[in-house]
Structure 1
Amino acid sequence: MTFTAQVKVMPHKELLDPQGKAVLGGLGNLGLNDIKDVRIGKNITLQIEADNADNAKQIAEEATKKLLANGVMEMFEVTIS
C-alpha cells in the first residue's frame, strides 16, 4: 500500500529562529503589529510503500531523523494518511 506521510519540522522553542524574527520585523514594517511571534519551519510530504500505517510511520520517522531534521535544533511530528 502507498501511504502519505506529512512531516512537520520546527525549531525547538528554546532556540532563536532568525527567519521568524526577520518575518516578524517585516510584518511590523507593514503595520501588522498584532502579530507577536513568528516561527518558520518545514512541511515535507513523503509517499511511502509499506504493509501498514505503523510501518509507514516508522520509515518516515527514520528518514526524518537521518536526513530531514536536525535533532539538536529541530523537533518533528509525523502524520500518516
Structure 2
Amino acid sequence: MALLITDECINCDVCEPECPNGAIYQGEEIYEINPDLCTECVGHYDVSQCVEVCPVDCIIIDPDNEETREQLQAKYEKITSESA
C-alpha cells in the first residue's frame, strides 16, 4: 500500500525531506507521492515518517495501490539495489 496525500495538504514542506525513498514531490497544487517509490518506510523505519510529521493528518493509505508488507519489502529491496 503506497500512501496518498489528500487535498487537505497545506504545503508545509515537512513531509518531503522525511521520505527515505524520495517518493514525495511537489505537485501542481499539493505534495504528491509516487506509488512506485513509496514503501510506507518499510525497510527504513517502523512507521511512515511522512505520516508522523504531517501536521494536518492528510496522508492516508492509497486505495488504488494496495500492497502487502512483503510486497513493500520487495519494493524497498529493489529501490535500494538500484541506487547502490
Q: Same fold (TM over 0.5)?
A: no
Q: Which has the larger radius of gyration?
A: 1
Q: Which has the higher strand share?
A: 1
Q: Which has the higher contact order (CA 8 A, sep 6+)?
A: 1
TM-score (norm: length of structure 1): 0.27
Q: Which has the higher helix share?
A: 1
TM-score (norm: length of structure 2): 0.27
